[in-house]
Structure 1
Amino acid sequence: MDEVAQSTRMRCMLEKRVGRSMVWMTWHQWQETTSSSTYRDGKWESDSSTTRYDETRYFIVLPGRMPDVAVVRRTRIGGLLRRVRGPGTGDAAFDRAFLLKSRDDGVPRGVLSSRLRKAMLARRLPPWESRNSILFTVHRDQPTLATLDSRAAAIAEIAAHLSGAR
């Protein structure tokens, strides 16, 4: 978390209490420029383009010990071609839609309750990751007044599911 807060790309950091959880939000913004040169008609021609990137992350410190797990959305074609990638959960619809990444193959089955899987399948809750008992979600856009509360509530709901409070 300290590393995230010290980044030169960080534009904003907020915190908010949602129920019993303290949620932190960080917004990072940066630009990347790519250049190329082409030799044409006896001379070099240069071209460059600049792209701006935004990334908003929400964090919650989970109580107790939580294994490192990432839940990543799969592409539709990936789910059709290969029904389960990684350890899976035993829930066919969920396993087609999401990939679980964990060092311990047995962890995901016990971590993801059926209510959490259903909420994620309905797209009410975003993909998430837990590392060193810190839960986080990543959104590839700027935070807005319309998204701040709903995304904070979503990560708090994920944390409640993971801690068994739901």
Structure 2
Amino acid sequence: MKAFKYIYEHHMDDADLFMKADEDTSVNLENLRYFLSGQNKNQPVYFCQHFKALVQQGVFSSGACYQLSKESPRRFGTQRSKASVCRQDGGAEDVEMEECMENLGAKVGNSTDKLGRSRFHFFDPETHLKGNYGDWYYKYDTNGTKKEPCHCNSSLQIFLLI
């Protein structure tokens, strides 16, 4: 939460979208830029690998990586001090951020390609290529991953640093 407070206070005019990524996240910036270039920065929206669980809109993929439109951190910055809106510290980061975004009126953006395949990938590349997911993944994946190898797509390159 402190990172988003810092963004709000010091960098709101520096970018149209803001990305949070863990140290083990790989990103193909060209593919991500292409995907995000068509998004409206003025809408309170965020993009991520998304699961149906825990809060009304679902939850991020363990917080590994997500992108927020400019409007989302703006709302966070103006309303974060209200304890009922965003928890200030503690808890699971992905669940807390998801609840915060939901309370701020930010919506999960559609991050699938035109064939309905996910652009953001939770597992390592080998797991995605072989389709060796646990049953929980099929149950909770918002995009409806099928039980077949590589239901991903060429945008798996968003996951890979090529």
TM-score normalised over the length of structure 2: 0.25
Higher strand share: 1
Higher RCO (C-alpha under 8 Å, 6+ residues apart): 2
Higher helix share: 2
TM-score normalised over the length of structure 1: 0.25
